[in-house]
Amino acid sequence: MGKPSVLSGIQPTADSFHIGNYFGALRQWVQMQDTHDCFYTVVDLHAITSEFDPKILKKRTLTSFAQLLAVGIDSLKSTLFVQSQVPQHAQLAWVLSCFTGFGEAGRMTQFKDKTQKGGQERSSVGLFTYPILQAADILLYQAQSVPVGEDQRQHLELTRDLAIRFNNQFGKTFVVPEAFIVKESAKILDLQDPTAKMSKSSPQGCVFILDEPDVVMKKFKTALTDSGKEIKYDPTNKPGISNLLSIIKAVTNEDMTTIESQFVNKGYGDLKIYTGELVVEKIIKPFREKTMTLLADENQLNSLMNDGAQKAEKVAAATLKSVYEKVGF
């Protein structure tokens, strides 16, 4: 028996990943490489569902690929590839879209949130069917486990429903995958608004992996904290402080009581500086430097992309072939 399979993806929709992506997903991607057969993809097909610029998209895809290598994805252990270079993703997405109810797709909360912000007239059909493409990404590789942050849970439920539906109608075709969500770091919050998840759409509250260290320190120093003085993990009453404590825990892996005990008789300012310095030393500096080095050799990155796409396509083609046969193509 081979190792169980994993697939996960990340969008190249910003100039840099942020620490929410890292703690919520990428760190688990790295860890799973030793125990699983891993497929990791930069999902550029997903990135054109909202407004985009082709030149910027291309650059971001390359930078995203480099960042995945920099955080520890090993192209010898894992299959690392760019989604648009493996045509089976779009092909399977079409078939699956014919098995998805219109109302079912309409219940996806991420679509509802995004259309509420941009207005339904300005939203593309691609944005609406995006979770079906995500299901195709996962099902093509027969992934058992999908390491993601909390915001992807509903998309994983849809993926499971589609796999089960297809299997029931045509016989076992897909592995039914499970979301792998690490509770403590499943939702890193915005430093300026600790009621919202950290996201590139709020750059002041978002710590990007490729930010300059002094920019990172400034973001931590100006983080919104709560009333009172005590440094205690209490997400309901102290969301800002608790978010900083969760970030420390995500980096050091200490238990929360040990972390809290280091801040007895200290102030919020001390906590902010401590967290900022920790993130700069352990995350920003090493990953930033490694990414820059990798980006200096574009030919090598392109060659790794080609290799990854070829490896991925072999697996994806086998799944698509069985799907095509089953539906009568």
**CB 196, min distance to ligand TYM, A:** 9
Which of positions 31-60 make contact with ligand TYM (CB under 6 A)? 43, 46
> Mask 153-172, x = binds ligand TYM (CB under 6 A)?
--x-----------------
Selected catalytic residue, list 114, 218, 311, 326: 114
Applying CB under 6 A, the site for ligand TYM has a residue count of 25
Residue 259 binds to ligand TYM (criterion: CB under 6 A):
no
Active site residue 200: yes
3-state secondary structure the chain: CCCCEEEEEECCCCCCCEHHHHHHHHHHHHHHCCCCEEEEEECCCHHHCCCCCHHHHHHHHHHHHHHHHHHCCCCCCCEEEEHHHCCHHHHHHHHHHCCCCHHHHHCCHHHHHHHHHHCHHHCCHHHHHHHHHHHHHHHHCCCCEEECCHHHHHHHHHHHHHHHHHHHHHCCCCCCCEEECCHHHCCCECCCCCCCECCCCCHHHCCECCCCHHHHHHHHHCCCCCCCCCCCCCCCCCHHHHHHHHHHHHHHCCCHHHHHHCCCCCCHHHHHHHHHHHHHHHHHHHHHHHHHHHHCCHHHHHHHHHHHHHHHHHHHHHHHHHHHHHHCC
Of 187 and 261, which has the nearer Cβ to ligand TYM?
Answer: 187
Catalytic hit among 197, 238, 249, 272:
197
Judged by CB under 6 A, which of 5, 6, 16, 25 binds ligand TYM?
25
Listed ranges 59-67, 144-152, 246-254, 306-314: which one lies at the site for ligand TYM (CB under 6 A): 144-152
Is 197 a known active-site residue? yes
Answer for which of 188, 244, 283, 304 binds ligand TYM (CB under 6 A) is: 188
Supply the minimum distance, in Å, between the C-beta of residue 92 and ligand TYM. Answer: 12
- Least distance from ligand TYM to the Cβ atom of residue 159, Å: 8
- Applying CB under 6 A, the residues found at the interface with ligand TYM are 7-11, 20-21, 24-25, 43, 46, 134, 137-138, 146, 148-149, 151-152, 155, 186-188, 197-198
Residues belonging to the active site = 114, 197, 200
